[in-house]
Structure 1
């Protein structure tokens, strides 16, 4: 019997070794996924044992607050791990490294700027560093867009602002001095390329666009509007029409002169874009061409039916259109019509007879 004791002990030790080399790797793979194919058989066992030892540490939250963290190009995983621990983002750099190597994520850490939320685990941080999503996004508002077109661009913009919320915010009265007379933000959502945090919501987006308009509304521009007998609101309405009428920006001052001459003479503006604005629907905000029936559509925006300016801007005009209103060309023109060569340029005329002669054959 005594002779069997050493044999039994040897069997127990052998079973323990088998459990270490078989059962522990199985358990680790169940918890953390398969090991990297780059690892040799011996390395797989080695790092499986390390992860088994670190088990509770890998999933425990760090008790840290929100942190920003930058990884420089070419920075090694060891240095990154040490800096993460020093910043309080992870609890243990060794456990972080072991997890990276075991899973193979050590080869795909991305350089860039990160925003880590509070109380992340080592695994959370390791996975987050595989996809560097910029903290800010570029959001472009094109000249001539109406607010609905801006809203339609939001789902693919990367911003948190929802289209419906944006429209609600843009249609609400805003508290800027130059918005006196404006019932919505239409016309004042300044076209530009914006660098904005992804977390920008609808209210913040509208505020940013209108604030940018305010930054571009210089004293010289306001003086120019006043010299034309226009308030800021009226000037923006006219600029929005010019924006939609123009293809070549160099023509904007001349087009502005035509509309200003008509306004001073009490003529109707007869502008197609104002009718397009009135008729526009989702997916077809600027219907074209317009029929004779369309030109009779009863709307206060229809400048074929109603004299003077429409009640509000029809789009968000560019700086060039605003300058054209402030500094229009001096002319006797009352008419303009697109040239027949497809260039986007216009023929201008003083009389209706000349305007008719400019009609395409």
Structure 2
């Protein structure tokens, strides 16, 4: 009898083990198999939300077949404590493991609305965009000039939404005064800015910002990034540059930045100025003259006058030798790298070529031919007397 009982118990135990193994296998398959979503959805994870609550929402919205399996899989993967608040796109047929990755990986939210506060040289725009789930691309809803245009109703209607995300994008070539002036108009920031950081020390870049961030903290991060970029570039500089410190390299980078917006030209432009310095020539660059007039506070908005080219200011490289005393803008990374690693050329001159780029020359004769072509283009366009000639 006892043998029969033992045999039956063993059989029952084996059946239980087989059932558990089958259940585990089924759960594992459910966790990695394509999910039930027919169309992508945007999932908002509130700050402080529990994993259990988010799991239930996912089940209710049809993103996972079973909230319990989703929680068990997250616990097994040691990811249940990694939940990140924000708005996330859950693609159609996303598996539970893909959903888990989306809401725990961190980084920028991938769904909902996005406000990009774009600080440019001539204006600062607020751009409100919203993710189109059909194409998985952000579509612009409205754009307006911060501080200069009325705030559109489309922006006001969503300005207080909890899932609204914010970025600040600083363009290459803006001045520190322009950055500070723009940040004062950003209604999602807090705190005051009493001083303008030294010219050139703010990194043009894109910054993810939370609502309520202190303006001073934003400027501090911009300064930190620029410091890192300059230090890394200076450590990898080529030999025999005609400037001795990273601060002088930053001045040169700012001039390069203001002279060309064509990425592939930056090292060529750098070579022109390096060659001039090595030969004891003046830099003769218009953007330095403009900075001497505006001090970086706004845009000149017109061509330079001959009297201004002759006027002595600390930044006018037509009348001073060598570099000006400070940068004339905040250069981007490519301009900094060009300043410490210029092309090896014999170029001494350059002039606008009518395409947005420049024509470079080794001799004055060749340069005069390029200038004549540029003057003809100016006459055709009705823009005679504008800047664009270097080293006439």
TM range (shorter): 0.5 to 0.7
The count of aligned residue pairs is: 229
Match of 2:225 in 1: 212
In the alignment, is the contact (CA less than 8 A) between 1:225 and 1:325 conserved in 2?
no
Distance 1:189 1:284, change over 3 A: closer
2:170 to 122, 141, 144: 141
Distance 1:73 1:248, change over 3 A: farther
Distance 1:73 1:240, change over 3 A: farther
Cα distance, 1:258 vs structure 2: 0.4
For structure 1, list consecutive stretches of 5 or more residues without a partner in the other structure.
Answer: 1-66, 77-110, 113-128, 172-183
Matched, 1:347 2:376: no
Cα distance, 1:344 vs structure 2: 1.1
Q: TM-score, normalised by structure 1?
A: 0.56
Match of 1:152 in 2: 181
Q: In 1, Cα distance between the equivalents of 2:225 and 2:321?
A: 31
Larger helix percent:
1
For structure 2, list consecutive stretches of 5 or more residues without a partner in the other structure.
Answer: 1-45, 59-110, 113-157, 377-392
In the alignment, is the contact (CA less than 8 A) between 2:230 and 2:250 conserved in 1?
no
2:196 to 170, 176, 180: 170
1:264 to 275, 278, 282: 278
In the alignment, is the contact (CA less than 8 A) between 1:154 and 1:161 conserved in 2?
no
Distance 1:268 1:156, change over 3 A: same
Matched, 1:232 2:232: no
Report the RMSD for the aligned CA atoms in angstroms.
3.2
Distance 1:284 1:189, change over 3 A: closer
Matched, 1:324 2:315: no
Distance 1:159 1:286, change over 3 A: farther
Cα distance, 1:74 vs structure 2: 9.2
Larger strand percent:
2
Q: TM-score, normalised by structure 2?
A: 0.52
Match of 1:69 in 2: 48
Q: In 1, Cα distance between the equivalents of 2:267 and 2:281?
A: 19
Cα distance, 1:156 vs structure 2: 4.5
Q: In 2, Cα distance between the equivalents of 1:72 and 1:299?
A: 62
In the alignment, is the contact (CA less than 8 A) between 1:278 and 1:302 conserved in 2?
yes
Q: In 1, Cα distance between the equivalents of 2:361 and 2:327?
A: 26
In the alignment, is the contact (CA less than 8 A) between 1:191 and 1:317 conserved in 2?
yes
